[in-house]
Amino acid sequence: MSKDTRPPSANIRKRPKKQLMVFSGRANPGLAQEVAAQLGTELVPTSAYDFANGEIYVRFEESVRGSDAFVIQSHTSPINENIMEHLLMVDALKRASTKRITVVMPFYGYARQDKKHRGREPISARLVADMFRTAGADRLICVDLHTDQIQGFFDGPVDHLMAIPVLSEYVARKYGDEHLAVVSPDAGRIKVAEQWSKRLGGAPLAFIHKTRDINRPNEMVANRVVGDVRGRVCVLVDDMIDTGGTITKAADALMADGAKDVVIAATHAILSEPAVERLQACSAREVIVTNTLPIPPEKEFEGLTTLSIAPLISAAVKEVFEDGSVTSLFGGRA
């Protein structure tokens, strides 16, 4: 058969137009709406509710066939319910013939259980990754994982975003004319503190030598400050504030060691009880966090500053959708 006599269907080489769709669970819809707005789109209408026995129902009100889906859900309290809702959203998209599913976790649930400290313990962070892969996720976007190794738990691409640009820009603008020191709450996060130091004009580093009882979670003893902080405004950096015990004891230890002032900067404001009371009572001048997790009005207090992580997430979503480079958002480091 000659080229001229071939049926029209044999010459079809049309590539379907890519379609970006953004979905949100019920955990942190405000952040998801910000992300969608910055992408120039709207959240896909979704029906979600709980049955009388606590089971969750999810359904999307528009066709998602062939779309590039980004499913945003913060794993906040009640964390198990929100993770389950996230999984059900992914499963619904897979069964509705979505072309690619990217799970956006501003906060990765169970990230602290990333290794076995003792025998007969689970590695829960790996289990969470396996569940999302089984549900149908093709890719993950996360913000400030508790440890970098969690990226290897998911069998697929993982974009690990860092909140340092958002937090450090604010600190530099507000406290840049002070004599600063960057302080890690423990030796394990000193590499993160080094990145902060570079962004704050080479501010000297220090860390808190601490001990922790593995049988008593969220409790630690700040033994001593390693480094010279005398007369400096100390920027105490961490990935999360849960009950506030670690970070507030570190702040008090810095003031006792001669620091001029302490500013706390953390990505994830979990703020479990009694975090608010501890933060209000400690010696920190300001507590700076992002909105990776929703902060209800009753947990807001004077001295708490919440910065939006939406510009960073939306930029990453755009790079993934356009097959660009997420690493470029961090100067080649991500």
Decide: 106 and 87 in contact? Cβ < 8 Å. Answer: no
CA-nearest of 130, 18, 30, 105 to 69 is 18
| φ, ψ of residue 190 in degrees (nearest 5) | -70, -30
Active site residue 299: no
Whether the Cβ atoms of residue 32 and residue 304 lie closer than 8 Å to each other: no
Q: Which amino acid is at 124?
A: S
**Ordered DSSP codes for 104-168:** EESS-TTTT--S-SSTT---HHHHHHHHHHHHT--EEEEES-SSGGGGGGSSS-EEEE-SHHHHH
In contact, 193 and 181? CB cutoff 8 Å:
no
CA nearest neighbour of 153 among 206, 107, 111, 120: 111
Q: Which entry of 94, 99, 210, 318 is annotated as an active-site residue?
A: 210
- Residue recorded with tokens 């499963």: 91
**Token code pair at residue 110:** 């169970």
- List active site positions: 210
